[in-house]
Amino acid sequence: MPDSEDKTDLAASFRQTRRELWVMLAAWIVFAAWTIGYNATHAFTEEASLPDPVLGMPRWITFGIFTPWMVAVVLTTWFAMRFMKDTPLHDGAPETEAEREGK
């Protein structure tokens, strides 16, 4: 049976995992709202049919699709490299003698 220290480790792991979940969900909602909202208001207008390229793409594609994707790539990289943490979990298996000697 795991002792109270192991329960504390699991609680810390659970809290970290929950923080990561909320950051991922919030990011997904923000980028979905940005893409849908911007494109709904700018992609189907008469201005969208006029050639006004930005970075070689129509303006609504640049600011409604390309920009949020690039920001999401940067956020995902930061999230994976800085925010996510590896938390050890207790597997419940008793230590072997070799593992105890290696400590």
CA distance 50 to 99: 70
State the burial class of residue 58 (Cβ atoms within 10 Å of its Cβ: 0-12, 13-18, 19+): buried
The predicted pLDDT at position 91 comes to 61
The predicted pLDDT at position 54 comes to 84
The predicted pLDDT at position 27 comes to 95
- Is pTM beyond 0.85? Reply is no
Arithmetic mean of pLDDT over the chain: 81
The predicted pLDDT at position 22 comes to 95
The predicted pLDDT at position 1 comes to 47
Among the residue ranges 6-10, 26-30, 35-39, 74-78, the one predicted with the least confidence is 6-10
For the chain, domain boundaries: 22-86
Which residues lie closer than 8 Å to 16 by C-beta, 6 or more apart? 85, 87
